[in-house]
Structure 1
Amino acid sequence: MANEELAALRVAITETDNELLSIIAKRQQLTNQVAETKIKHQIQVRDQAREEQLLIRLIKKGQEIGLDPHFVTKLFHVIIEDSVLNQQSLLAQRANPDASLPINRVAFLGEKGSYSYLATQKYFARRSGKLVEMGCKSFADIIATVESSEADFAVLPIENTSSGSINEVYDQLQHTRLSIVGELTHEINHALLVHQDVEVGKIKTLYAHPQVFAQCSHFLAELGNVEVKPCDSTSAAMLIVNELKSPEVAAIGSEGGGKLHGLRAIQSKLANQKENHSRFIVVARNPIKVPLQVPAKTTMIMSTVQTPGALVDALTVLKENGIAMTKLESRPINGNPWEEMFYVDVEGNIEDGPMQKALDALRSMTRYFKVLGCYPVEEVSPTRVSVASTLTDK
């Protein structure tokens, strides 16, 4: 009797879930119509005052029908983020009709299961066209694959919240003709992956990408006498463990990626920082145009003259034009001892007046200057509401 009641309830839940999916799909269709209106009337994608009012109303409505305010807030943060990203994607496609391809050939580090593979899947899920995955063994190979027109795009990790900047990618950007056309942030959850269940203390050899070892240094220190063997990618590490089928070897990578290679996770969240994220950039042979309604980021590189305060003077140009800098990275210039190339990320669109003014000034005062790309900001900050504004009268 109990099993029959449970089965009936599960059928009802399944029907309700299907209704929820249909309603969410209908909402997405409506937000696409909103995007069309914004394109027509040159309206900004985000209206955070409107988002705040929406959240307050929904939280109060949720309280009236017995829903937890935190649950409602979390749910609609996800829905609003999805709506914003879909609208930005539609606007970008309309502004760059020649960039929409029936097939997107994308180069990335490693094979199926690598973090770059997962980031590629995430980014191109919102883009039209069939995705063709092209795994590569090195960052240089990735760049070369796009430069030679074998691939249309490349997805490259640029920095991590735990291990910092990925210098090899910055060095590749210094010499490539490619342009940055997009970015995304992807959560990194390192797990200990094995072919068969085993106690952690019995593992003698670990395989992973060098960046992964750097991000999990505290965990490695706790393991003690374990041999670490660097691999070209996390997916390469998984392949080795799958082939060896030994209880004494393990890989470090994503749990989802491990499943693609027949591995299981026996421990997770291994990174030094529990909130571990990597930022990836997307590059292509040609730059894109970012509509002014879409929040944009611009990346540039420059080398300043060898005089005291030259870098400060260059950065002051940004401040004078009201442009926020989000990243400053320096890398040595090959063949020029003690000279550095500076990579700068700023919030702004190269089509905007203040940005154009700042770029003109920087070109005139630096030894070398180049815009690597202007692209949509993919990080959607959640709209906050005050607790007092959500309280309902009793």
Structure 2
Amino acid sequence: MSPNPEDIEDVRRSIEDLDRELVRLLAKRLDAARAIGSLKASSGRSEIRDPERERALLETWCDEAEAAGLPRWLAGRILTEILEHSRRAQEDVFLGKSPDGASILRLKVGYQGVPASYSDLCIDKLFAAREGLVLEKQGFETFSHVARALERQDIDCALLPVENSTCGGIGEVGEILVKGAFSVLAEEILPVEHVLAALPGTRRRDVKAVRSHRAALEQCRSLLERMEDARVEVWHDTADAARSIADEKAAGVAAICSMEAAQRHGLEVLARDVADNPENYTRFLLLGREPGESDPRLPSKTSLVLALRDEKGALAQCLEVFARHEINLTRIESRPKPQAPWEYIFLIDFEGHRDDESVRDALADLPTYTSQLRVLGSYPMRRPSDDHLQSLPVPRVNLDDEGIPKVARPLIEDVPLTAL
């Protein structure tokens, strides 16, 4: 017996009512988080995060979810996103930068790619909690085009990916940091969740070509090896690969892209979470022409560029400076020094703010061993996830290489995911 369409519509209307209520409650919770930020600021507290409180909330959420018949991991994932957004909403309030409603900041941000690319999605995440902001985004074909637009003042700032947890540093962006005169204003970490998408009705066995950005293809090597009959087509952007397939009506061609890009261009998702590493993150830096302001009370990072003196042990001596001042390095990358074969410039990120006493002392000691030293900026530190939350056991579903639970595979073989 087939379901009555009117009954389905009634249930859908109920779901829509519940969704509206969820959004309303989320907005009220965010207002409460901002109020807590104001109370912390007025009471002289110097921290935004309360790890013990967050962990207690997570345990409560998971227990309540389990009692209601919901998966603990679902409750944990939702709360983690809520807490992250709440902390960011508190930052401006806590630091006395809450908008008064009269002043509106207009900001034009450049990025490499097209709408629904990972850079575009990352801009939305970075500025999601900023009130009183009119944001304009402009995509460019290459990283160097973005940098030139920032130099020409065609844009106010630029968001560029600097490293990926699977593939490492982004060489062209490293060159921009070394050669340019830009400052680092902020960082953002975006979980990269690749999907394989094609024209509606396409079966995975029908795919003869896979199209995407070189970095995305590198992150999905295992998938491509299993699809040995499909050729690889390198594209300048993941989301534009999806757009091109839709515009060309390219039968038998699939894109590796974001879920948002697949949905935007009407493609059908053939497989989800196709990256080799399920913990796949890209770190982005927000660049500006002038140094930014960052409050040292926030957990911070600092980035710098340095070149070593031409003497034995110079690198070891620089590293010893950081160790002596108990500074934790989070990234060190070497780039060839222009017009000096086999000499290198180092990009270094570390935990701490340039106004911290230990950082000031280290920066004062480093010139003894360097021929060049430039601080790119200090900025609020972001994490891919919360360390104190990771220790809570969260069950994982055993998925096959198409992102489908293995126990369900016999039941849905050859059924498009969009039909589930």
Asked if these proteins are the same fold (TM beyond 0.5), I'd say yes
- How far 1:51 moved relative to its partner? 3.3
Counterpart of 2:405?
none
In the alignment, is residue 236 of structure 1 matched against residue 240 of structure 2? yes
Match of 1:383 among 369, 380, 388: 388
CA distance in 2, matches of 1:256, 1:348: 35
Counterpart of 1:391?
none
- How far 1:311 moved relative to its partner? 1.0
Counterpart of 2:411?
none
Secondary structure at the residue paired with 1:368? strand
Counterpart of 1:362?
366
Match of 1:285 among 286, 289, 295: 289
CA distance in 2, matches of 1:222, 1:330: 34
- 1:47-78 Cα offsets, whole Å, 9 max, x none, are 22343455566667778888876665554433
Counterpart of 1:29?
31
Secondary structure at the residue paired with 1:337? coil
- 1:257-303 Cα offsets, whole Å, 9 max, x none, are 12212322212222221222211111112222221221111111111
- 1:216-261 Cα offsets, whole Å, 9 max, x none, are 2222222224332222211332232122212132222112112212
Structure 1 contact 96–289 (Cα < 8 Å) conserved: no
Structure 1 contact 55–73 (Cα < 8 Å) conserved: yes
Amino acid at match of 2:369: M
Higher RCO, 1 vs 2 (CA within 8 Å, ≥6 residues apart): 1
CA distance in 2, matches of 1:227, 1:320: 52
Map 1:1-394 to 2 at 5 A. 18-40=20-42, 41-55=44-58, 73-91=76-94, 94=97, 102-128=105-131, 129-379=133-383, 381-384=386-389
Structure 2 contact 113–239 (Cα < 8 Å) conserved: yes
CA distance in 2, matches of 1:43, 1:197: 56
**Relative to structure 1, is the Cα distance of residues 267 and 93 closer, same or farther in structure 2, using a 3 angstrom cutoff?**
farther
- 1:328-362 Cα offsets, whole Å, 9 max, x none, are 11111121111111111101011111111111111
Structure 1 contact 91–291 (Cα < 8 Å) conserved: no
- How far 1:134 moved relative to its partner? 0.5
- How far 1:35 moved relative to its partner? 1.5
Structure 1 contact 108–116 (Cα < 8 Å) conserved: yes
CA distance in 1, matches of 2:195, 2:390: 35
CA distance in 2, matches of 1:298, 1:376: 9
Structure 2 contact 89–130 (Cα < 8 Å) conserved: no
Aligned-pair identity (%): 28
CA distance in 2, matches of 1:102, 1:276: 33
In the alignment, structure 1 segments of 5+ residues that lack a partner are: 388-394
CA distance in 2, matches of 1:299, 1:356: 13
CA distance in 2, matches of 1:357, 1:257: 47
CA distance in 1, matches of 2:292, 2:254: 42
Secondary structure at the residue paired with 1:94? coil
Secondary structure at the residue paired with 1:24? helix
Q: Which moved more, 1:63-72 or 1:148-157?
A: 63-72
CA distance in 2, matches of 1:184, 1:92: 19
- The TM-score with structure 2 as length reference comes to 0.81
In the alignment, structure 2 segments of 5+ residues that lack a partner are: 393-420
Superposition CA RMSD, Å: 3.1
Structure 2 contact 334–346 (Cα < 8 Å) conserved: yes
Q: Which moved more, 1:309-318 or 1:245-254?
A: 245-254
- The TM-score with structure 1 as length reference comes to 0.86
**Relative to structure 1, is the Cα distance of residues 78 and 269 closer, same or farther in structure 2, using a 3 angstrom cutoff?**
closer
